[in-house]
Amino acid sequence: MEAWVVGVDLGATKIALGLIDAQNRIVARQRVPTAPLEGPAAAVARIAQAVDALKTALPADARLAGLGICSPGPLDHRTGMLLDPPNLTGWIDVPLRQMLVDRLGLPVILEHDAKAAALGEYHYGAGRGERDMVYIVVGTGVGSALILDGRVHRGRNNSAGEVGHITIRATGDVCSCGNVGCVESFTAGPAIARAYRRALAAAGAHRPAESSEAITTENIVGRARGGEPLAVQVLADAGEALGTAVATLAMILDVELYVIGSSVAKAGDLLLEPARQAVAHHAHRSVAARVRIVRSALEDDGPILGCGWLARQRP
């Protein structure tokens, strides 16, 4: 019998599930709200219901071998516990893996969402055939997962990859972490929106109508695609900071491939081309020549497929 698995991407607002066949294709999907305020037990019940729905797509010659689930951190992948994820208010020390095992009767593995997305890209997406890869999430925050010699580098306390909070400049807005000059304070979605609002204000009375529309990264990307110089410049500035961080990673780790995912990555080359130029500027020439910065190939499917890969690693 073929072994199929389920991958689950548990986010702050929604839970996306995929049924994955033996060829690592997502053949059926479910999507349910997380409703974090209702607590983890309610979310587990919703996940179980969605898994039941996915099972109806399972062929007669296949069995469900396991489930991988990823969520925002901090979490402990060894014990399968969510610790105190800021994006899931009130979910403190939740034994999510055990709750799912009890409910589903399946082997379950829990992983951090950026690491799961990285594993998805590494095995099935932009990182196929590579030895090393850094996956960088650029969304509401900036984080990363490091794959070195084919393995996730976790660090002594499982906190490696905090690239959003390395210092690249001596000045700038105070970051959410309290530091000044963090990558995240230049490159994350909220930083881009803030920079755009400032640029609009500096452009002054010429653009009063702009204030009526919500300023989101998506809107800014849309305006930049339409050729609006302010929007193009704001994304270029964010890309410059991202590229400076990639240069630092490349100089320290000597990794060649950087895969950029999550919402801000949807800006594509409006963000990534200035990032590439910044790498050329900040890294040694021989290092910069080998660095490749690409968009996530799997986009939102990355975490689900990464969870599927993890589910297959269980004995």
**Cα distance from N-terminal residue to C-terminal residue, the chain:** 16
DSSP class of residue 22? T
Q: By CB neighbour count within 10 A (0-12 exposed, 13-18 middle, 19+ buried), where does 12 fall?
A: middle
Q: Which residues pair with 76 in a beta bridge?
A: 81
Residues near a second copy (CB under 8 A), total: 42
Number of Cβ within a 10 Å radius of residue 222: 13
Note whether 138 binds a second copy by CB under 8 A: no
- For strands 62-71 and 2-10, give the pairing: parallel
- Residue from 50, 100, 119, 249 touching a second copy (CB under 8 A): that is 249
Note whether 162 binds a second copy by CB under 8 A: yes
- Residue from 203, 254, 269, 313 touching a second copy (CB under 8 A): that is 254
Note whether 179 binds a second copy by CB under 8 A: yes
Min separation Cβ 254 and a second copy, Å? 2
- Residue from 81, 215, 287, 294 touching a second copy (CB under 8 A): that is 287
Note whether 78 binds a second copy by CB under 8 A: no
Determine the distance from the C-alpha atom of residue 52 to the mean position of all C-alpha atoms in its chain, rounded to a whole number.
Answer: 27
What long-range pairs does 167-171 form, CB within 8 A, spacing at least 24?
168/241, 168/244, 168/245, 168/248, 169/241
Q: Helices 189-203 and 229-253 sit at what angle, rounded to 10 degrees?
A: 140
Q: Which residue lies nearer to a second copy by CB, 228 or 256?
A: 256
- Residue from 1, 35, 290, 313 touching a second copy (CB under 8 A): that is 290
Q: Which residue lies nearer to a second copy by CB, 93 or 254?
A: 254
Min separation Cβ 82 and a second copy, Å? 17
- For strands 133-138 and 142-148, give the pairing: antiparallel
Note whether 215 binds a second copy by CB under 8 A: no
- Residue from 16, 238, 255, 260 touching a second copy (CB under 8 A): that is 255
Residues that bind a second copy (CB under 8 A): 131-132, 146, 148, 153-163, 165-171, 177, 179, 181, 244, 247-249, 251-256, 281-284, 286-287, 290
